[in-house]
Chains A and B, each alone.
Chain A
């Protein structure tokens, strides 16, 4: 294989990884699962748990029984698991959690005694504030039981202060009023403040209100209420048959767990409103738009009072959860809640629903809504294959039909009283409820739906169905009992009997299955939208913009964006991160260990950050960053220099003062550090290496004559990296010194006495260290001699830059090429350290070496003389250099004459065998056996 083939192959092998931003998949830990299951507030977690048998004795029940017989201390025993959390004693029956479970607030416990039941077992008798007694019989090892009881005792003590909160809290519960009024026969009690329904009536038929209330009254007497309620089969049954309007608020609180968060956070709702009073926000703007548009058919929402309550709750939520803010549909949910609840109750219930039932539905990207639509589709596919086949074959978009159901919890689809019933069940049964109801809707209307072939007709059929839910499901049946069954009853039966196969864990499973896809889709949608709406730029291609977008969001945590949380702007720290991902001069390096460098870096980056930011905010938007990069990446030399100058020209007067001149030179020093320290090579060095390679190839092969195809390399080629690094470092130092010196020479506006600066005229023999020192002292010198009056204008700055080949190249090429907006995320990571970078540069440019060699070979072939070969080389270089400077030569002719250090330090075109030999020494063909170790890059042929 020839040398160039192998170069090409190596170049092709440089791997570009295309890593997508890692998607965020939440994994719930045990405590989170526990909280979700029992709808407990954030601060609860399992402290201890044990197996136990529990029986419950209620004072009212006992009283009743006592009248009949004397078998008072008898009750069902439930076997299950008992948990302790900081504020709760939680129990659930092991065989069937719906046969007995409770979430008892510890502060409701008045007394705990050792129970004298069955000598071998360890039992506790617990008396609650309302008189209910529970007997807990521990099962398991004695020392585990001791441990549990010990913890329990501690918690009892810790919860004593909370008992003070109990009385005022209970005053807000309708169940307490119901008992006081009907059981304790207190006549001077008033119902606690409740929802708007108290005054504006409850939507729907109220005929069954009384008997339903009676059933719940019995239940409360039997099984406790609000904070002490024990849920058994009866509880679930009573929920299913429909909750009385007066108790609906409290039961929603109990089922959703918002009762616990309201109890845990007394006064927080009020504080939220007070703390943010008078403040403005996007959410508030959006809320105001919708206040008049929330259940307008309900009388209270045509009046100030109703609207004000709605405003308060929605606003408080937007402050509580600014990531969500306000989403249309929340207004309808809250309007529904407020019919049954006070503002504070509705607020906590909203929080609980948003967190536990419809996570992510109302987020800024609505990812939860989209996710559940996908999950719903997958259920239709699994459970109703015929329907699914119809839907897919006619290209019907199911989510177009079902999304509004889920998003507004059926409130905008069904007449309100039915939607309330669905809500009753949702809150007690969990998110699976939606899927069950939605599947049932499709199933019941299956025949009609299979007849039509577009989503519009689907919607029309179902709209009609929802509006007639009160009609008979079997109007033509001969049996009157059959005829009396309404469509709504039928819906419930199909949903909760037939589709009881849909469980919460299935929902969870499907949600995690599709989450990644959905987030990914949202990301790419958001990206397309944002890129489309970016303002026009000149120097960035659509691909560049796409890469910038990816990097931008990578640095501000893109997964949060697609979940709709977090800010989509960039602060300074993220900005530094951002640049370091694709700008060679911003990458972390050894130089960062030098405090001085760090200072320069920070100063420059701060300057960029401020310049790019719009309207003085402390954050950059994507637009800001795109505009900024567009300026920095100016394609031609002049505008690149102008842009850089403008960074320092804060007043925009095309003129900067002495202080800024120093800052500009510091900035240049920072920007060029990566080249000065040899981490990267610039075009000038690269050319010099290429020329050397080409020369040596020619030298080596000229003896044989022949054509390019014959040229082959021996076993290995090595480059003396150190030498080139050294040369380049000196060049950059020299450039920096020249810049500072000339700046203050030319900046002086009037003729003043020559400041006696250290002479920095080119001295090739000077060591690098000496130059570095010189620059420092030069800077110190200038700083000590502040020329307050001195200013430098743009034209002068341009001239000074153009006077130095290295800096000129820097603005013409190096800087632009060090900003890799053309590379996708991750592709940079695949490159190793400095040596690799340098190496890759050559690989990518193998062709250029090839053309150099070709020219040499050609000229050797025609003239057959080594001296003319060297002449040809000089011309070549001239050509190449002209590529970067053509058009500007005239501007700096006068400046060039004394300072130009260039590749062709062999003056004119005179062959200079001496220098040629020197070059070639550093570049040699070597035996594989005697490789020169460190600082050598090896090309394996």
Chain B
């Protein structure tokens, strides 16, 4: 823990039940719950990740997906440095919604926000469900808008850590110094002992990357 620490405020947006909370749960606790309660308002979680010579602390805002909660979203993406815009690869409507979110972020959020487009529930396609959002379509959107793009499964854990890793790599380190003050002030640390080492995720198989 002597390495430099960068805090990243990250927000998850996307239609209800696409698996935002599940992605966070996978990333933070390497766990999956079949019946996850819908997020009411938003949930806040943190996770620290070692990346070579520095540590990144993700401050994750997991928002509610239902349409009517959209007016609350600015509260959460305010000052966010990164966003995961999540859709469900088996639900075309959720991809339309993802487009809207990207647009809104581009217009309303911090100018240099890093956005990752995430197509979740890939495992369902692999186990026979019909894919409804074509890979190319999503890739097109990503390249047009300059987004990171991943297809993931929170259930199997596939590609989840990679999303966060990619964001971690894109965050300019400079903010690390700026954010350093104030770290020691609070007595409370969440998930201090369940860190994910993303360097391992790069080489080894993704799901087993948690070193807790």
Q: Hey, which bits of chain A sit against chain B, CB under 8 A?
A: 286, 289-290, 292-296, 302, 327-329, 331-332, 363-366, 370, 397, 399-400, 403-404, 407-408, 412, 448, 451-457, 459-461, 464, 522, 525-526, 528-529, 532-533, 564
Contact = CB atoms under 8 A, between A and B. Distances in A.
A286 B71 contact: no
Interface stretch (B31-39, B138-146, B164-172, B199-207): B31-39
B15 to A, nearest CB: 9
Interface in B75-101: 75-76, 78, 100
Given A296-B35, A329-B40, A366-B68, A397 B186 contact: no
6 contacts: A327-B68, A328-B65, A397-B75, A448-B188, A460-B188, A533-B103
Given A327-B68, A532-B103, A532-B104, A457 B40 contact: no
Contacts of B109: none
**SS of A interface (majority):** helix
B52 interface: no
Contacts of A456: 9, 44, 46, 59, 61
Given A328-B64, A452-B186, A460-B46, A295 B16 contact: no
B185 interface: yes
Given A365-B68, A456-B46, A332 B37 contact: yes
B35 A464 contact: no
A566 to B, nearest CB: 15
A529 B75 contact: no
A173 to B, nearest CB: 32
Interface of B: 9, 16-17, 33-42, 44, 46, 59, 61, 64-66, 68-72, 74-76, 78, 100, 103-104, 107-108, 182, 185-188, 190
B100 A533 contact: yes
Contacts of B9: 456
Contacts of B104: 529, 532
Contacts of A290: 16-17, 38
A466 to B, nearest CB: 13
B37 A293 contact: yes
Contacts of B68: 327, 363-366, 564
Nearest to A362: B68
- The 6 tightest CB contacts between A and B, nearest first, are A404-B41, A296-B35, A459-B44, A403-B41, A452-B186, A328-B38
B88 to A, nearest CB: 11
Contacts of B103: 532-533
A295 B37 contact: yes
Contact of B37 (A296, A302, A451): A296
B69 A328 contact: yes
Contact of A522 (B42, B65, B71, B185): B71
A564 B68 CA distance: 9
B66 A286 contact: yes
A452 B188 contact: yes
A721 to B, nearest CB: 49
Nearest to A290: B38
Nearest to A335: B37
B57 to A, nearest CB: 10
Nearest to B59: A456
Given A295-B37, A397-B75, A453-B182, A289 B190 contact: no
A364 B64 CA distance: 14
A407 B40 contact: yes
Given A328-B66, A533-B100, A453 B185 contact: yes
Contacts of A295: 37
B63 to A, nearest CB: 10
B65 to A, nearest CB: 8
A679 to B, nearest CB: 41
Contact of B44 (A296, A452, A460): A460
A451 B187 contact: yes
B71 A365 contact: yes
Given A328-B64, A456-B59, A404 B186 contact: no
A401 B41 CA distance: 9
B35 A292 contact: yes
B35 to A, nearest CB: 4
A538 to B, nearest CB: 19
A412 B65 CA distance: 16
A295 B36 CA distance: 9
Contacts of B36: 293, 296
Contacts of B33: 296
B40 A412 contact: yes
A222 to B, nearest CB: 41
A363 B67 CA distance: 11
B37 A407 contact: no
Given A292-B35, A452-B185, 20 more contacts: A286-B16, A289-B38, A290-B17, A293-B35, A293-B37, A296-B36, A328-B64, A329-B40, A366-B72, A403-B42, A451-B187, A452-B186, A453-B182, A457-B186, A460-B190, A461-B188, A525-B71, A526-B71, A532-B104, A564-B68
Nearest to A525: B71
A287 to B, nearest CB: 11
B75 A366 contact: no
Contacts of A564: 68
A408 B40 CA distance: 7
A263 to B, nearest CB: 32
B33 to A, nearest CB: 8
A400 B75 contact: yes
A398 to B, nearest CB: 10
Nearest to B16: A289
Contact of A327 (B61, B66, B100, B107): B66
A144 to B, nearest CB: 50
A451 B34 CA distance: 37
A240 to B, nearest CB: 27
Nearest to A296: B35
B109 to A, nearest CB: 13
A480 B136 CA distance: 68
A387 B33 CA distance: 37
Q: Which of B33, B69, B74, B100 has the most CB of A within 10 A?
A: B69
Contacts of B185: 451-453
Nearest to A400: B75
Nearest to B39: A328
Given A290-B38, A328-B40, A366 B46 contact: no
A284 to B, nearest CB: 14
A430 B182 CA distance: 40
A452 B46 CA distance: 15
B6 to A, nearest CB: 15
B37 A400 contact: no
A459 B68 CA distance: 23
Contacts of A532: 100, 103-104, 107
Contacts of A292: 34-35
A293 B37 CA distance: 4
